[in-house]
Amino acid sequence: MKKLFLLLAFSFQILLVSAQAPSHANDASSDPSLPTYLVNGVEMPYAKVIKLNTTLIESMSVYKGPEAIAKFGAKYKHGIVIVKLKKAKK
């Protein structure tokens, strides 16, 4: 019974530690297979793109696979997401 309790306690501790570890799954610098993000023509990392205020987005276009390569070149073989922001009102 003591071994079972220790095993459960250890498993729970591992679960807590792994849940607190930061995820870098969406970090373009660590995963070259992610698409490229262009915001108003400027390449931007995914971490900044997801922090954009969605009310400022006018449009988004997604190109992937052969379509992205044909339209933009081999650099974008993993896809490209083009985000166009609304123009600021004066």
Report which residue type is found at 74. Answer: A
Burial call 45-70: b when 16+ CB within 10 Å, e when fewer:
ebeebeeeeeeeeeeeeebeeeebbe
Give the position of tokens 């679960």: 15
Q: What is the pLDDT of residues 10-58, one digit of tens each?
A: 565 665 555 554 454 445 455 778 899 999 999 999 999 999 999 999 9
Q: What is the pLDDT of residues 1-12, one digit of tens each?
A: 666 655 566 565
Global pTM reads 0.64
45 contacts 24 by C-beta, under 8 angstroms:
no
